[in-house]
Amino acid sequence: MINSVITGISDVAANVRKIDFKWDQKLLPGQFIMLWYPGVGEIPMSISHLGDPKSITVKAYGTVSSKIMELGKGDRLYFRGPLGNGFNVRGKKRLLIGGGSGMASLHPMIERGVHGIVAGRTSADLIFLDEFDQDRVLAASDDGSSGFKGTALDALKTLDPESFDSIYVCGPEAMMFGIMKHLAGKNVYVEFSLERSMKCGIGVCDSCSIDGNQICTQGPVFSLESVMKMREFGLTRLTTSGKRIRF
Amino acid sequence: MNSERLRTEICGIKLDNPLILASGILDENGYTMARILREGAAAVVTKSIGSDERTGYMPPVVSPGDGYLLNAIGLTNPGIDNYGEEIAIAREVGKPVIGSIFGKDAEEFSTLAGKMESFGVSALELNLSCPHVKGFGSEIGSDPDAVEEIVNEVKRAVSIPVFAKLSPNVTDIVQIAKAAEAADALVLINTIRGMAIDVFARKPSLTNVYGGLSGRAIKPVGVRLVYEVKKETGRTIIGVGGISCAQDVLEYVMAGSSCVELGTVLMEEGKGIFSKVSTELSILLDQLGFDNISDAVGVAISK
Ligand SMILES: Cc1cc2nc3c(=O)[nH]c(=O)nc-3n(C[C@H](O)[C@H](O)[C@H](O)COP(=O)(O)OP(=O)(O)OC[C@H]3O[C@@H](n4cnc5c(N)ncnc54)[C@H](O)[C@@H]3O)c2cc1C
Ligand SMILES: Cc1cc2nc3c(=O)[nH]c(=O)nc-3n(C[C@H](O)[C@H](O)[C@H](O)COP(=O)(O)O)c2cc1C
Ligand code: FES
């Protein structure tokens, strides 16, 4: 277990907080850690900022993430990593599509000239919107409180996907499933960062698996071609007990 | 790669090679088991399944170290009535699937055994030894009377082969092995009790505090227990514990195992380990002059 003192904290959106810490480690965009709050639990978390200091961007969903929100400057972060494969950044004209906290794993790829679709439930849930060139980003919210009223897929449908060299997607599986169907057969390189319940993070417990692939070790990033072959993607998954359910 | 040298069988179940996936590692999801069978495992053992759905412990459920892994997953399982679909998915590959079960007493084990058999598994593995859930596992597996009753009852309840998986956390392994007399084969060993503390956090590394030790570090313990039980009882044994290469497999075989199970090695080597070890094992057997793996069983045991 690695540990590091928190050097800064800032609010990013409603219930979303960026936590900075020192970690002398080379990382790829899309890689993650298993973050431990001693005595409470351990959850997967993308590294949202790869420079110095490094950062994670945490949304408070439940037990562990809410406890992490209570941490302050000077407290210690405990974690295992780096885990996962990371995105292959390629092509000149790139589009990033992030839903909710999924934007955190895409954040390291935001730079001048990169296009974006930032989606969330309401305007308060949109993160890192202001870090894109404002003429290259679309906001989408389910309630229309900011930008486009609709989903990330609705926003994507207003663009020509083949005008991009590459597209990177991270968000809820249902959102990514729709995007996968929309982009299937199009002439553009696409990668998805998948998210499933994780327990071990090291490829032994089978809790994060999809079609025999362990998202924690073989992913979280998969190409459009490999995702299209997955029979479980967007359709069925195991709960934290291992019970199979349909989406 | 499956050479003739590696072809073997356990209690009448034909195996392309002597390598089986151990219980609890990548065997909750039927698609994962199917993938592992396609990547070269001769058979898979499912994760241990009980009567009721259990989420298991809050992570951290693993604490990896150099050459070992500590785990306390907490017998996570969907409950037997929700598990048939996973077995059906794994069985599509056409290789043997072995159903692992755990329970609190002979009656519960028998009920689970009957349901597993109805899902079409080739054999049953009784987890008598899981060291980290109060009331299950070790407390049963270290009590010879309970072991005898469970194995006898399960044998009466089903017609497929029954393997009894024993715990290393006992004083006299031979006594327990004898209590499991009715089993068709013995599986040795499950994890060894252990724990770790994070000194910065001043807390145990695992949520459950205590865990089970597995991986390369435990191989000498496993080899010794297999050797002792084979020498004293002559029973059919499946060896498991810290196997990571062909030489490890042969060590377990020469100590008395007919075939072996691989678990923690998947953490470091991934699912490709089965075909890799098969290839190496075939070459090693050739070098040492064995026509078939079964000729090496127990050869190291001094008479
Ligand atoms: C590879 C990977 C990278 C991740 N990176 C980030 C990141 O950078 N930032 C971040 O904030 N989160 C990230 N997550 C998600 C994060 O791990 C979960 O939010 C966290 O596990 C929730 O745990 P909890 O104990 O706080 O909530 P729990 O108590 O487990 O959950 C409370 C409730 O929230 C719901 N819930 C939990 N997680 C999510 C979710 N992700 N989306 C929607 N509903 C949810 C649950 O279904 C439950 O009803 C990542 C997940 C993965 C697999
Ligand atoms: C994460 C993990 C989960 C396990 N779960 C089970 C289980 O459910 N039932 C069981 O009989 N053994 C279980 N085991 C024990 C293994 O099947 C095996 O006996 C042990 O790990 C030693 O082999 P190895 O060193 O090759 O892993 C588990 C081991 C690990 C590492
Ligand atoms: S989280 Fe355990 S296998 Fe991926």
How many structural domains compose chain B?
1
Backbone angles phi, psi at B155, to 5 degrees: -60, -40
Backbone angles phi, psi at B164, to 5 degrees: -105, 120
Among A128, A118, A112, CA closest to A97: A118
Convert the pLDDT of each residue in B26-50 to its tens digit: 999 999 999 999 999 999 999 999 9
Question: How remote is the CA of residue A201 from the centroid of ligand 3, in Å?
Answer: 5
Chosen from A204, A226, A245 to mutate, greatest number of chain B CBs within 10 A: A204
pLDDT bucket at B136, cuts 50 / 70 / 90? very low
**Structure token pair of residue A221:** 């990033």
Among A79, A97, A77, CA closest to A87: A97
Q: Is the peptide bond before A220 cis (omega within 30 degrees of 0)?
A: yes
Convert the pLDDT of each residue in B180-192 to its tens digit: 999 999 999 999 9
Backbone angles phi, psi at B211, to 5 degrees: -140, -175
* Pick from B20-24, B127-131, B207-211, B230-234: least confident: B127-131
Asked, for residue B189, whether it belongs to a domain, the answer is yes
Whether B25 has its CB under 8 Å from any CB of chain A: the answer is yes
CATH number, domain of B101, equals: 3.20.20.70
Convert the pLDDT of each residue in B60-115 to its tens digit: 999 999 999 999 999 999 999 999 999 999 999 999 999 999 998 999 999 999 99
B162 beta partners: B124
Q: Which residues line ligand 3 (CB under 6 A)?
A: A 198-201, 203-208, 214, 216
Average pLDDT over residues B141-156: 94
Asked, for residue B302, whether it belongs to a domain, the answer is no
Q: Which residue is closest to B201 within chain A, CA to CA?
A: A38
B23 beta partners: none
Please give the mean pLDDT across all residues of chain A: 95
B123 close to ligand 2 (CB < 6 Angstrom): no
Whole-number Å distance between alpha carbons of B127 and B146: 13
Which residue type, as a one-letter code, is found at position B49? I
pLDDT of residue B2: 54
What domains does chain A contain, in order, with CATH numbers?
Answer: 2-83 (2.40.30.10), 94-246 (3.40.50.80)
pLDDT of residue A143: 86
According to DSSP, residue B77 is labeled: B
Backbone angles phi, psi at A184, to 5 degrees: -55, 130
Please give the mean pLDDT across all residues of chain B: 95
A204 close to ligand 2 (CB < 6 Angstrom): yes
Asked, for residue B68, whether it belongs to a domain, the answer is no
Whole-number Å distance between alpha carbons of B275 and B281: 10
Taking a contact as any Cβ pair under 8 Å apart, which residues of chain B between 172 and 211 contact chain A?
Answer: 198, 200-203, 205, 207
Do the Cβ atoms of A116 and A137 come closer than 8 Å? yes
Angle between helix axes B84-91 and B30-38 (nearest 10 degrees) is 20
Do the Cβ atoms of A28 and A93 come closer than 8 Å? no
Chain B residues touching A235 at Cβ < 8 A: none
pLDDT of residue A142: 87
> Around B117, how many Cα atoms within 13 Å sit in the side-chain half-sphere?
16
Domain that holds residue B86: 3-52+76-193+213-296
**B259: annotated active-site residue:** no
Nearest-CA residue for atom 4 of ligand 2: B24
Asked, for residue B64, whether it belongs to a domain, the answer is no
Q: Which of B11, B130, B245, B259 is catalytic?
A: B130
Asked, for residue B208, whether it belongs to a domain, the answer is no
A34, A231, A241 ranked by CB distance to B76: nearest: A241
pLDDT over threshold 50, residue B179: yes
Identify which ligand lies nearest to the alpha carbon of B133: 2
Whole-number Å distance between alpha carbons of B62 and B167: 19
Nearest-CA residue for atom 3 of ligand 3: A203
pLDDT of residue B141: 86
pLDDT bucket at B130, cuts 50 / 70 / 90? low
* Contact between chains at B61 and A238 (C-beta distance less than 8 A): no
Q: Where are the alpha helices (DSSP H) in chain A?
A: 63-68, 103-106, 152-156, 173-183, 224-229
pLDDT bucket at A145, cuts 50 / 70 / 90? confident
Convert the pLDDT of each residue in A76-122 to its tens digit: 999 999 999 999 999 999 999 999 999 999 999 999 999 999 999 99
Question: How remote is the CA of residue B71 from the centroid of ligand 2, in Å?
Answer: 9
Asked, for residue B108, whether it belongs to a domain, the answer is yes
Nearest-CA residue for atom 21 of ligand 2: B214
Chain A residues touching B56 at Cβ < 8 A: 199, 240-241
pLDDT bucket at A123, cuts 50 / 70 / 90? confident
The CB density around residue B82, as the number of other CB atoms within 10 Å, is: 18
Taking the alpha carbons of B37, A80, A105, A170 in that order, is the dihedral positive or negative? positive
Counting one residue from chain A and one from chain B, the pairs whose CB atoms sit within 8 A come to 130
A39, A199, A241 ranked by CB distance to B77: nearest: A241
Radius of gyration of chain B (CA): 18
